[in-house]
Amino acid sequence: MTGGCAVGSVTTVRAGRPRSSIVAMEPGVATTRLDFDATERFVPLRRQLGVTAFGLNQLVLLPGQRGRIHRHAAQEEVYLVLDGTLTLLIEGEAQTFERGELVRLAPAVRRQLVNRGPGRLVLLALGGAGEHVGRDGEAFATWEDEHGVSPRELPLPEDLPPAERAG
């Protein structure tokens, strides 16, 4: 980030509000934290982290709140219920998902997120379009290694010894 604006970003105006679109993947590491007490329905984690390859948002619905009926042209979505109970209307038919459950929807499937209550509903929404790149990682046996190998070629390390564990 440079001066609060993502490097390589383009600011556009949509519906009278400036919006920033990241056009190139940023190097390095970015962090954020989920806000389970958020008062906003939509928390743009993708923008907070500078993610460019997929959508990542926290959604919060209070009891009785619901989102728009929507679908996508190309983006499939996965919803992960972090807290509460999601009533998901899929083409008008209700399905219920509890904490820890995930659901994937194809782009053309119409859906509506509903919180029938009694508590808050907190979701993580992930969305992406295009084919998955697949495993492109490199694994290293030590921090000193400069050249990695396929993770499948390197066994997992031994577990931490008790003296290095917290608590």
User: Each residue of 83-107: pLDDT tens digit?
Assistant: 999 999 999 999 999 999 999 999 9
Q: What pLDDT score was predicted for residue 132? A: 81
Angle at 6 between CA 107 and CA 76, to 5 degrees: 10
Domain of residue 63, residue span: 44-128
Q: What pLDDT score was predicted for residue 101? A: 98
Q: Is residue 146 part of a domain?
A: no
Q: Is residue 155 part of a domain?
A: no
Q: Is residue 88 part of a domain?
A: yes
pLDDT tens-digit series, residues 102-139: 999 999 999 999 999 999 999 999 999 988 877 788 99
Split at pLDDT 50, 70, 90, the class of 13 is: very low
Q: Is residue 145 part of a domain?
A: no
Whole-model pTM: value is: 0.77
Angle at 139 between CA 136 and CA 140, to 5 degrees: 150
Q: Is residue 39 part of a domain?
A: no
The beta strands (E) that lie in 37-92 are given as 42-43, 55-61, 76-83, 86-90
Question: What is the domain-level CATH number for residue 114?
Answer: 2.60.120.10
- Check pLDDT > 80 for residue 26: no
Domain count, the chain: 1
